[in-house]
Amino acid sequence: MFTQFPIPPAFTLIRKGDASILIKEEYKDLLLEQGIENVNIFLEEARQSSNYLKGRARHPSISIKGGKRMVIRQYLHGGLFRYFTRGFYLFGSRSFQELALTEEVRSCGIPTVEPIAAIHRAIFGFLYRAYLLSLEILVLTI
């Protein structure tokens, strides 16, 4: 399931319960201490102490070490399809593929978000939910 792409340097694949997490070594201890493997509980706690960024859905932005902020994006289908599937996906490893591609783009010197983890949480059979965690980009306005 997760062998369709190379794991980027400085990332480790961890399996805990129903969650598989591709996580950057630099943030591994911090995120595991905060209980990132149980995404539902982690998100509920994060919602109480976070700002929100808007996209197709609201994305919590949480303070982490060194004055940085982390954005948690849950993958959701768009259009009419989302009313039937919500945040469920069938087969694949969408968040892991995006993390690997984003890291490849970053290694070429192209400015983009800095991913710190991707989560694939098995729901039932081949159904899963996916999340991408990245550092928040600060935009300065003049």
> What would the pLDDT profile of 19-28 be if each residue is shown by its tens digit?
889 999 999 9
86 CB-side CA count, 13 A:
5
* Distance between CA atoms of residues 73 and 55, nearest Å: 9
For 83, other C-beta atoms within 10 Å of its C-beta total: 8
Whole-structure pTM value: 0.80
Is domain 27-135 in CATH 3.30.200, yes or no? yes
> What would the pLDDT profile of 96-118 be if each residue is shown by its tens digit?
988 999 999 999 999 999 999 99
Nearest CA-CA partner of 117 in 31, 9, 4: 31
Q: Binning pLDDT at 50, 70 and 90, where does residue 89 land?
A: confident
Q: Where are the domains of the chain?
A: 27-135
Burial class (CB in 10 A: 0-12, 13-18, 19+), 119: buried
